[in-house]
Amino acid sequence: MRREPLPLDKIRARHHALHQQIRALEQLLEQREEPDEARVREALVLFEGFEPMLEEHFAVEERGGYFSDVLKVAPRFTRWATRLERNHGDFRARLQRLLELAHNAVDAPDKWSKVISGVAEFLQKLKEHEAEENDLVRAAFMDDLAPGD
Ligand SMILES: [Fe+2]
Ligand SMILES: [Fe+2]
């Protein structure tokens, strides 16, 4: 009997951890009251802390955290996996731009709404990326675990 969905659990756990960070940021952004400078600074600190975490998340995936696990069991998904992996570069560049924008906006309340919508859009795209990775992993491992395999 096969007892191997371990890589899948690892991937799920990593995605769950990242998702919690995303939620924390979103909750901060969703607060309805007018933002004041203290809250903007708090958001910036949280957002700055998010960067190394995301970088680590991407780096682990690229080092073979799941791409290689997926491709080992389902090499036919190579193109899908490669495309997702390449998206990391866009996210990195976008995040750098957003961080710069956020830094420059701390003392400029007229720019806050632009930063907030930029971060919200970034998080939305990132969630879509993560969801697609989960789909890929699920497809790869479901096929692998299908009867007759
Ligand atoms: Fe990824
Ligand atoms: Fe991921």
- Mean pLDDT per block of 10 residues along the chain (149 residues) reads 59 85 88 77 88 92 77 88 93 96 90 90 96 90 62
CA angle 21-82-131, nearest 5°? 35
- Residues around ion ligand 1, judged by CB within 5 A, are 61
Residue 98 burial (CB < 10 Å; 0-12/13-18/19+)?
Answer: middle
Which residue type occupies 93? A
Q: How far is the CA of 12 from the centre of ligand 2 (A)?
A: 9
**What's the pLDDT at 61?**
87
Q: Domains of the chain: which residue ranges?
A: 6-145
The predicted pLDDT at position 58 comes to: 93
Amino acid 143: pLDDT:
65
Instruction: Give the global pTM.
Output: 0.85
Q: How far is the CA of 66 from the centre of ligand 2 (A)?
A: 9
